[in-house]
Amino acid sequence: EIVMTQSPATLSVSPGERATLSCRASQSVSSNLAWYQQKPGQAPRLLIYGASTRATGIPARFSGSGSGTEFTLTISSLQSEDFAVYYCQQYNNWPSLTFGGGTKVEIK
Amino acid sequence: EVQLVQSGAEVKKPGESLKISCKGSGYSFTSYWIGWVRQMPGKGLEWMGIIYPGDSDTRYSPSFQGQVTISADKSISTAYLQWSSLKASDTAMYYCARQDWNHVYPFDYWGQGTLVTVSS
Reported as a single tens digit per residue, the pLDDT across A46-71 is 999 999 999 999 999 999 999 999 99
CA distances from B55 to A103, B35, B51, B77, B108 (A): 37, 15, 9, 13, 21
Rounded average pLDDT over A82-105:
96
Minimal Cβ distance to A55: which of B35, B44, B108: B108
| Dihedral sign (CA A4, A48, A51, B60) | positive
Minimal Cβ distance to B107: which of A46, A98, A102: A46
Q: What is the pLDDT of residue A21?
A: 98
Q: What is the pLDDT of residue A64?
A: 98
Interface of B with A in 47-106 (CB under 8 A): 47, 50, 59, 61-62, 95, 97, 99, 103, 105-106
Amino acid at B33: W
Give tens-digit pLDDT for A5-23: 999 999 999 999 999 999 9
**Contact assessment for residue B95 and residue B36, using Cβ atoms and an 8 Å cutoff:** yes
Q: What is the pLDDT of residue B103?
A: 87
Does residue A37 carry a pLDDT above 90? yes
Nearest one of A17, A36, A26, A22 to A92, comparing CA atoms? A26
Please report which confidence band the pLDDT of residue A44 belongs to, taking 50, 70 and 90 as the band edges.
Answer: very high
Among all residues of chain B, which has the CA nearest to that of A35? Answer: B106
- Residue ranges of chain B with pLDDT lower than 70? none
- Mean pLDDT, chain A, integer: 97
Contact check, Cβ <8 Å, B44/A98: no
